[in-house]
Chains A and B, each alone.
Chain A
Amino acid sequence: MKWLLFALIVAMVAIHQDFWWWKDSRLVLGILPVGLAYHVFYALLCSAMMWLLVKTAWPKELDELAPPAPKNPGD
């Protein structure tokens, strides 16, 4: 699992370099240039990737570390 996650992280770095649309000015849905639309999608993918990391690689040993400090209202 660890190696799969590592491979996914490397893949995320790789797919950030979308050279194939470098000089393409086509519009997606008539409003977003394709190069921008791709990176907006990439941002959503990053959120999904982080969800996956939280679900599969969370440092569980930290969960129980130290009792919470007395809380201030508003915190």
Chain B
Amino acid sequence: MVPALVVFGYLAIVLYIGIFAFRRGKTSGEDFFLASRSLGPYIFLLSLFGTNMTAFAILGSSGLSYKIGIGVFGLMASSSCFVIPVTIFFIGTRLWGLGKKFGHMTQVQYFRDRWECSEIGTVIFVLTAAMLVPYLIIGTMGGGETLSSISTYTDAGGQTRHWVSYEAGAGLVAVVVMSYVFFGGMRGTAWVNTFQTTLFLCFGAIAFFLISQKLGGFGKIMTEMQNDPKSSVLLTRARIPTEEFFSYMFIPLSSIMFPHIAIMCMTAERVTHFKKTVIFYPLCIAAIWLPAVYIGTIGAHEFPGLKPGDTDDIIPRMLREYTGPLVSGILGAGIMACVMASDSQILALCTMFTEDVFAYYGGKDRFGEKAQVWTGRFFIVLVTVVAYVIALALKDKEGIFGLAIRFAFSGFAAMAPVMLAALFWKRSTKYGALASTLWVMGTVAFTGWLHMATEGLAKPGQPPVVIYESLGNLFLRTPVNVTMYGFLPVMPMCIGSAILMAVVSLLTRPPSRATLDKYFPPRKEPGVPAAVSQAVPAATPDGVKAG
């Protein structure tokens, strides 16, 4: 019961932070959706990092390490250590500049203005929103599972029971997240994310050392694992094909294309805040992922033979077993913090709806800015209720949403060439963007279907199975993935998206001279990059439609 009480206390704190942010806020749309673009350097770093840390970073990575070992760190963490800060450096700073200069709040607003397109912007909105929805459902499901997991007890009859049921846990987490997003908007979300990230960075390290001490020290455990033939393979990357390892380098390209990350980039007060962010970002990733991967790998040695569905529970299990109830509760709160990363996704979806649909199709002009903010708040409630109902109705179908997220990662990564072309290639066109977007839609749907249709085709420990004999090794099935010549689909998806963007743009007419001059103004002096190079006063969001 103690861990559950600690988590309840934690939920009360984040709720208070949200309401406190509400009292500090203003009534404008820019304040609600972007905290008036005024976040300081440390809040910006920690909230941007916290926004990127989902339940997978802790529970999923440790569960995967349980199965395939320490290679998970190189596979997902160290690749992100490089790719994410680089994309924030090159793309995030430019998005910030465009937001300051032209008042953009979302990616679609920028694309519509940059390429003089309306419907194509709507197509990108639909794809982006569709790929974001599974995260909200998984976030709600994760809340229910985490709360019921940390409130586990054994009754007098030896039966395992929960103080908090899945349904009550999911409902409670949904209400808390909805409340602080509803009241606090971006400011509340950023403050909560900062608090959550700090909590996890501190107590994650403490738990790491407590577990190690209880087991007799890292050296002893590692030597035992090295000498055990069953465990020693987990200290290598023998279970990860080299082609898949390479392909994973493309996945972090998705980060900057997630609407909540792109929108978060526009909240910094000054562009110089990005400097600390990109330098410390790799260190933050390592600080979170190293304990998670390490504990997951050790867990395979300490608790061998867990069923596939139970492996993601390895960190809570180790905490229950090797630490006291108070530490277990605090760490449970930390895990809850990651599960609750859905806050910024809800806010991003709401921002997109109010800016890309409500305001774009005239709602803001007709009903005013206050009505726009309240429409956003109503949308937050609606999205939360729908996600909760789906989380209850499809409780046993979590795997489908988990799968949807995996393919959404690839989809967002494959949209990165669209953003790069918009920012850095003057000659890019709306039809190039449309071709890339349709390619992403098609390939996400196809690879998702192929994955489900070939489920169970390959057995663990066996070589990959050819899916279509006539196509040779083009499509292979491993126990976990569909691959193309051994590479994950994300790689051909990104390359295909880039080629289509280039070829179709060259075949179609570029935007008008006025628009090109707006986004690529003539250079003032040699050596000064063109895009967003002119320092002008900040525009209102209405300026978006002026061009």
Q: Write the residues of chain A forming the contact surface with B, with a CB cutoff of 8 angstroms.
A: 9, 12-13, 16-19, 22-25, 27, 30-33, 35-36, 38-40, 42-44, 46-47, 49-51, 53-54, 57-59, 61-75
Q: A9–B222 Cα gap in the complex (Å)?
A: 34
Interface code B201-244, partner A: CB below 8 Å = 1, 0 otherwise? 00000000000000000110011001000001101111000100
The list of the 8 closest CB pairs from A to B, nearest first, reads A66-B100, A46-B282, A33-B235, A43-B286, A25-B235, A31-B218, A39-B78, A66-B538
Interface core residue of A16, A23, A58, A65 (most chain B CB under 10 Å): A65
Given B24, B101, B290, B529, which contacts A40 in the complex, CB threshold below 8 Å? B290
Question: A30 — nearest CB in chain B belongs to which residue?
Answer: B219
Q: For residue B282, give the distance in angstroms from its CB to the closest CB of chain A.
A: 4
B114 in the interface (beta carbon within 8 A): no
Question: B190 — nearest CB in chain A belongs to which residue?
Answer: A75
Q: A42–B237 Cα gap in the complex (Å)?
A: 16
Chain A residues near B58: list those with CB within 8 A: none
Asked whether A35 and B39 contact (CB < 8 A) given A27-B223, A46-B82, the answer is no
Q: For residue B296, give the distance in angstroms from its CB to the closest CB of chain A.
A: 12
20 A-B interface contacts by CB (under 8 A): A16-B78, A16-B249, A18-B74, A22-B237, A23-B238, A36-B70, A36-B290, A40-B78, A42-B81, A47-B281, A47-B283, A49-B82, A50-B282, A53-B278, A58-B275, A65-B100, A65-B535, A67-B537, A70-B38, A75-B35
Q: A75–B187 Cα gap in the complex (Å)?
A: 8
Q: For residue B370, give the distance in angstroms from its CB to the closest CB of chain A.
A: 19
Asked whether A47 and B74 contact (CB < 8 A) given A27-B223, A35-B235, the answer is no
Q: A51–B538 Cα gap in the complex (Å)?
A: 29
Question: A13 — nearest CB in chain B belongs to which residue?
Answer: B249
Cβ < 8 Å to A, chain B residues 277-296: 278-283, 285-286, 290, 293-294
Chain B residues near A66: list those with CB within 8 A: 100-101, 535-538
Given A30, A53, A74, which contacts B223 in the complex, CB threshold below 8 Å? A30
Asked whether A54 and B97 contact (CB < 8 A) given A30-B219, A61-B535, the answer is no
Q: For residue A23, give the distance in angstroms from its CB to the closest CB of chain B.
A: 5
Q: For residue A73, give the distance in angstroms from its CB to the closest CB of chain B.
A: 7
Q: A22–B243 Cα gap in the complex (Å)?
A: 12
B272 in the interface (beta carbon within 8 A): yes
Q: A58–B280 Cα gap in the complex (Å)?
A: 16
Interchain CB contact under 8 A, A27 and B226: yes
